[in-house]
Amino acid sequence: QVQLQESGPGLVKPSETLSLTCTVSGDPISSYYWSWIRQPPGKELEWIGYIYFTGSTDYNPSLKSRVTISLDTSKNQFSLKLNSVTAADTAVYYCARLVHWFDPWGQGTLVTVSS
């Protein structure tokens, strides 16, 4: 059974870089697409982007200039970096496996942007 778990700092200062890692167990990361999704407080879910095991990526145009998704096959992990964060980037961040639908998901991690 595939399981995903997000990890990373829960507090990031404005203008700095948000960095999160998703650890995948039960399935080699060298297959499927892997994605990041976020949900700001009181708002809808927002797709951030995906990475394929080949390294190819696609990002939400609204975040494209600030986001990088990468993977580490040796650790069966993929990561998210979002730079120049503001309070608007405060959200619960989820990682998920992507097959044109998202399944399964991690439990999510709250990242707050505040000084």
Partner 1 sequence: QSALTQPASVSGSPGQSITLSCTGTSSDVGNYNLVSWYQHHPGTAPKLLIYEGSKRPSGVSTRFSGSKSGNTASLTISGLQAEDEADYHCCSYAGSGTPPLYVFGTGTKVTVL
Quick one: which of 12, 20, 36, 50 contacts partner 1 (CB under 8 A)?
A: 50
Query: Judged by CB under 8 A, does residue 52 bind partner 1?
Result: no
Task: Report the residue from 14, 45, 70, 73 that binds partner 1 according to the rule CB under 8 A.
Answer: 45
**What's the rounded Cα separation, in Å, for the pair 26 and 24?**
7
Are 18 and 62 contacting, i.e. CB atoms less than 8 angstroms apart?
Answer: no
For residue 104, cis peptide bond before it (omega within 30 degrees of 0)? yes
Q: Least separation, in Å, of the C-beta of 17 and partner 1?
A: 22
The conformation of residue 108, written as its DSSP 8-state character, comes to -
Give the binding site for partner 1 (CB under 8 A).
4, 35, 37, 44-47, 50, 58, 60-62, 94, 99-108
